[in-house]
Structure 1
């Protein structure tokens, strides 16, 4: 679970007794090269010895960040941390200046050599017309050197106070942020993450900004382990401890005092009063279409399915996510195209016209990170969806993800906290979920009786996410290209037939059948007396994704699911089974799931069944070893060999 706490920056003191701080730029000694104990994290390629940010304001209340960072390179791979890029957002009038950088080398005589970056070594590039990036590479990068750099960045106006992340992809010995805030500005601070602050102190100072008093807030953490991007971790940034700021008011001399929304209630009210959000209404054409779609006797779910199906079959997403409509639902209706807010606000209004209780909802997709409920800010969200609140239940819809059943939204939208915005200015939180379970039941049959070919037939029935993935893949690649991609890992394959059912019928499960043949020598190890075979062929688990000895972060699957793969092999004449894999069963605690592998030999038919059940999307770090064991068992079982022995002629 995410943890956070909130502080309003005012004129008070909160202190913690601690005396530690980074060194000044250029203050380095031979002892600094021995300061990092590599046993702290033996796999690290580099370590940040310290980093310090100082945030202050100029006389025009522009926010200025000064950053000072020192890194020790430990391996050849660590040299990547010597490629420095500093972005600036041009529309906010950001700019970067006062860059200093140096590489320190401890030579054989115990003396420190310095290799500095010159102005001509710094390059500027523009990305997407709005981002200007300063780039430079530190000289003489090699294991054992220490690099240090400093820059000054104008962030923009008072709304652009930067957040500060304490964690990195490599270990950090010391991370500190100091904020010097004039008394004319009020900020809310939210602390995310469970690590303890090593320094947490504030003091009133006489600042030089317009001769106004200010508060200096100093926050620091030490001995921070890296936060890596791991398999089955939905968003690494959700687990990075940080301090987030939000401007809540300003009282600058000569201007009227201003307060900004400080609660969800204020934000909801403002959204409902906006023409591009709460004031959107259906016209005669939209109402007429809804009346033509809805028929007497439909229940709520049938109405939802009918209106939703019309939307996804007749409207196109333009590829952009917004929180408000860009051109209004009436123009979206006419154009049959729009951004996610255009489409989903139109879907909301159409369902209301059909008598369904629906409201717009704001969501942060998985790649955008989790939402902090006690931090009222629209900046946390990146997409608008539809929340259905009817007698049949509460669930989410999205008309911008293409041809999908309404029962299973895109995985990027699942298990997210959506802010539901109602017409009466109330709000609620919806943990998004699917209405349908996800499963795949696949059967593969083939015979080894032919002397040169293996004839294979596959049939499968899918539900939920697996059906939607097939719809998406076939729509993206087209029918023929899909099967070319399906067989791309196999050599000398001759496809005999392939077919799908229910690709366009969004309310039904997608099934498919395919048959093909391939050269026996490509898949079997043939000897004079023995045949060695992996019976799962290309359905074998390619690897165990959980290879680390320990894991301090949760395991998060895209969705719960069940998979059953059944393989039937008809053995060749003149051979008997000499060795088959043993049956396996691994169960997760608290009925969290299981893996089962079974074999059976009846006559000349060998049957193998691999069953995986993952019953929830979230597993705590203390369940990592069980998850690792389950997937290791699956990897070994589906990659195990069957040994066939030629029958004796005696």
Structure 2
């Protein structure tokens, strides 16, 4: 009996082990028959298995090789996006990462039989994503609801001192993850875990015959990894996903321990500052002399010169969409072609400001879409802006954006700190980036409500700072009729007439918007009573924060305040039967404020309301207060004021 039980146990263990093994080209019917992911039934797709093996080799140069194999189950049409893969390959002027041996198969169940569709080479595309990034993109063929896809490839990188993050989490769940990284014992890497999962590696060592030396082997084996759920105002969600960051801190060749690879931000700034672009090209003022002399003329006021030069660079060199902390074309070519990357534009701006006698220098940073650098390194910085000081006042400028202004940069730039580079005084350091001024939206609505529930009237609005910047960008991206249609939709399907905008063609100052409108069925009629929602066109219907708990901070991008002044004429013969209560609330730390007041003067109902976010970045422990704050706003906006016949 014992022997029989032992055999059954061994068979069970063997079957379990086999079920957990994943080999390319061997997909089971059970996987194809799966209709939901049992550990997260809301998932549109799931990574059934991911294997990543990273190792070093020496083929004339030191290379880091990474073998990737992934198997993904597609449950519904919303999961089709995961059939498209984008792989970024880093490059410099002299070296670049490469990809080899891309293979992929899509599996479907047709009439009980497994059908395979292989990835053709003509479905694999390469393009220049940015100055430092080439992108490989492919879409798996014949993807349907229920498909299983798998693919594998080999990446090689000559940048052995900057190994990519080991990614342990996506926005879909992962069933099984198997990651192994082998590093030579002569290279000391600091491995920094990130995210909110608990994990640790199993470390062993052995001789790697590809290198002919000892290597450390760190193995990470994880199961049932939940999806990283994204909500609004998350900044870059990749900052919070589970993984490991690798930093080369020392070498130990022939017994000589050398910690020189461990960098500070001062080292990083100095390295960038001593590059040819910053040490030589930036000081070639002969390319900008004539431009600057012509545009500033006899102007002596430094602030006015700053504004003139800033506006000139924005109009003369259009951004090609590429980030960059170095020149892509160079100053002369960018000016001649009127086109360049972020480095071309903002380094040219620095050069022009310097020639005009303004104390100006580059500040290098990592934008929000690039993520927060977890340790000092040159390669994790992707952008540069201009920084000027006049009479001890600091100014940050980004001339890539048509509608940016002095100390009003695109929100992507307010991510972290900046790396200040001053070659003239050999000053290299981290500096704080000025927070943008609060964006303020002011709205005045005057309207009348008819006995049939129709609301008609006029509205005037004023938008400042980032509200104005975003308004200008939205307006530019539409023709006027489409833009007005989008405003009608935004304000709950009103009908707009006599629409005007002031200051839309300028790049600084407030936007003034005004129009007349009609909104049918704005109120509910029940018997002799009219039910009105007090905030009318300004109500908030949906809470942007839905998670019960949130593990990462809220990033609103910039401080904001919205003020509403509403005046509603009550129909003749009606009085207010039921009003709503006033409210004056704020979160415990005072970062979010909401004020709502109503009063009646004659036959006019007057409502004043304001909501404000003081600090753009809200820590995790205040999440529940912000969620409740928005719940209160929604509740107040949907309460009913009841008008009844006198």
- TM-score band by shorter chain is 0.7 to 0.9
Checking the alignment, whether the CA contact within 8 Å between 2:101 and 2:152 is kept in structure 1 is yes
- The 10-residue stretch of structure 1 (318-327 or 438-447) with the greater mean CA deviation from structure 2: 318-327
Q: Report the Cα offset of residue 530 of structure 1.
A: 2.5
| Alpha-carbon separation, structure 1, partners of 2:436 and 2:116 | 58
Of 8, 11, 22, the match for 1:25:
22
Aligned-residue offset at 1:430? 2.7
Q: Which residue of 2 aligns with 1:164?
A: 166
User: How far off its partner does 1:564 sit?
Assistant: 0.8
For 2:612 and 2:431, the matched residues in 1 are separated by 26
CA distance change for structure 1 residues 626 and 82 in 2, over 3 Å: closer, same or farther? closer
**Aligned position for 1:567:** 566
Q: 1:139 to 1:537 in 2, by over 3 A?
A: closer
Q: For residues 156 and 522 of structure 1, do their structure 2 counterparts lie closer, same or farther at Cα, with a shift above 3 Å needed? A: same
Instruction: Report the counterpart of residue 402 of structure 1 in structure 2.
Output: 402
C-alpha separation between the residues in 1 aligned to 2:20 and 2:604?
Answer: 73
Paired residues of 2:296 and 2:305 also in contact (CA < 8 A) = no
**Which residue pairs with 1:272 in the alignment?**
273
Hey, what's the Cα distance between the residues in 2 that align with 1:237 and 1:288?
45
- Per the alignment, do residues 331 and 289 of structure 1 end up closer, same or farther by CA in structure 2, a change over 3 Å counting? farther
- Give the Cα–Cα distance (whole angstroms) in 1 for the partners of residues 551 and 436 of structure 2: 31
Contact 1:438–1:466, Cα closer than 8 Å, also in 2: yes
Contact preservation (8 Å) 1:315, 1:336? yes
Secondary structure of residue in 1 paired with 2:278: coil
**What do residues 411-436 of structure 1 show as CA deviations (whole Å, max 9, x unaligned)?**
12124322111113432223323452
Number of residue pairs matched? 605
Partner of 2:582: 583
Residues 120 and 426 of structure 1, relative CA distance in 2, 3 Å threshold: closer
Residue 329 of structure 1 corresponds to 331
**TM-superposed deviation, 1:28:** 11
Q: How many Å separate the matches in 2 of 1:59 and 1:415?
A: 38
Tell me whether 411-420 or 188-197 shows the greater mean CA deviation.
Answer: 188-197
Query: Distance between the aligned counterparts of 2:49 and 2:531, measured in 1?
Result: 56
DSSP-derived class of the 1:94 partner:
strand
| Aligned counterpart, 1:307 | 309
**Shift of residue 456, structure 1, vs aligned partner:** 1.4
Structure 1 alignment gaps of length 5 or more: 1-19, 105-112
Alpha-carbon contact 1:447-1:569 (below 8 Å) kept: yes
Structure 1 CA distance for aligned equivalents of residues 328 and 81 of structure 2? 40
In the alignment, the residues of structure 1 paired with residue 510 and residue 106 of structure 2 have an alpha-carbon distance, to the nearest angstrom, of 59
TM-score between both structures, scaled by the size of structure 1: 0.79
Q: Following the alignment from structure 2 to structure 1, what is the Cα–Cα distance between the partners of residues 199 and 481?
A: 60
Instruction: Give me the whole-angstrom Cα distance separating, in 2, the residues matched to 1:533 and 1:208.
Output: 78
1:452 Cα offset (Å): 9.6
- Once residues 356 and 153 of structure 2 are traced to their aligned partners in structure 1, the CA distance between those partners, rounded to angstroms, is 56
| Structure 1 residue 58, shift from structure 2 partner | 4.8
What is the aligned partner in structure 2 of residue 347 from structure 1?
349
User: Is this contact kept in 1: 2:452–2:525, CA < 8 A?
Assistant: no
Aligned residue for 2:183, secondary structure, equals strand
Q: CA deviation at 1:235?
A: 0.7
Quote the residue 2:639 is aligned against.
640
| 1:336 to 1:631, Cα distance in 2 relative to 1, 3 A | same
Q: Deviations over 1:599-641 (max 9, x none)?
A: 1112100011221011111222222221111111112222333
CA distance in structure 2 between the partners assigned to 1:98 and 1:449 by the alignment: 67
> Structure 2-normalised TM-score?
0.79
- Tell me which residue corresponds to 2:372: 370
Q: Distance in 2 between matches of 1:419 and 1:214?
A: 35
1:139 Cα deviation from its structure 2 partner: 8.9
Shift of 1:365: 1.6
CA-to-partner distance for each residue in 1:81-107, whole Å, 9 max, x for gaps? 984747585974411357688899xxx
In the alignment, the residues of structure 1 paired with residue 117 and residue 502 of structure 2 have an alpha-carbon distance, to the nearest angstrom, of 63
CA distance in 2, matches of 1:306, 1:122: 51
| Native 8 Å contact 2:269 2:419 kept in 1 | no
Once residues 622 and 220 of structure 2 are traced to their aligned partners in structure 1, the CA distance between those partners, rounded to angstroms, is: 33
1:292 maps onto 2:297 in alignment: yes
Q: Does 1:554 align with 2:553?
A: yes
- Deviation readout 1:201-256 (Å, 9 max, x if unpaired): 43331222153433323345566432122111011001013223456899999xxx
Contact 1:123–1:134 (CA<8 Å) still a contact in 2? no
Q: Which moved more, 1:430-439 or 1:588-597?
A: 430-439
The structure-2 alpha-carbon separation of the partners of 1:544 and 1:293, relative to structure 1 and needing over 3 Å to count, comes to farther
Residues in 1 aligned to 2:475 and 2:72: alpha-carbon distance in whole angstroms: 48
In 1, the alpha carbon distance for the partners of 2:551 and 2:534 equals 36
1:96 lines up with 2:101 in the alignment: yes
Counterpart contact for 1:116–1:139, Cα < 8 Å = no
> Pairwise CA RMSD of aligned residues?
4.4
Q: Residues 174, 22 of structure 1: CA spacing in aligned structure 2 closer, same or farther, 3 A cutoff?
A: farther
Change (3 A) 1:21 1:187: farther
SS where residue 637 of structure 1 aligns? helix
The equivalent of 1:430 in structure 2 is: 431
Q: Are 1:457 and 1:515, in contact at CA under 8 Å, matched by a contact in 2?
A: yes
Question: 1:148-547 residue pairs with structure 2 within 5 A?
Answer: 151-157=152-158, 159=160, 161-172=163-174, 175-182=177-184, 186=187, 188-193=189-194, 195=196, 198-220=199-221, 224-245=225-246, 262=263, 264-279=265-280, 280-281=282-283, 282-283=285-286, 284-289=289-294, 292=297, 294-295=299-300, 298=301, 301-372=303-374, 374-378=375-379, 380-423=380-423, 424-448=425-449, 454-477=455-478, 482-488=483-489, 493=495, 495-501=497-503, 504=506, 506=508, 508-512=509-513, 514-518=514-518, 521-526=520-525, 529-547=528-546
Structure 2 residue ranges without an equivalent (≥5): 1-16, 91-95, 129-133
Tell me the SS of whatever aligns to 1:458. Answer: strand
Spell out, residue by residue over 1:133-174, the C-alpha distance to the aligned partner (whole angstroms, 9 max, x if none): 5554799965xx9x6957342434454844311122234465
Distance 1:209 1:314, change over 3 A: closer
Please identify, of 491-500 and 539-548, the stretch whose mean Cα deviation from structure 2 is larger.
491-500
Residues 484, 496 of structure 2: 8 Å contact kept: no
| TM-aligned CA deviation for residue 359 of structure 1 | 1.1
C-alpha distance in 2 between matches for 1:180 and 1:331:
44
How far 1:406 moved relative to its partner? Answer: 1.1
Shift of 1:495: 1.1
Distance 1:22 1:56 in 2: 27
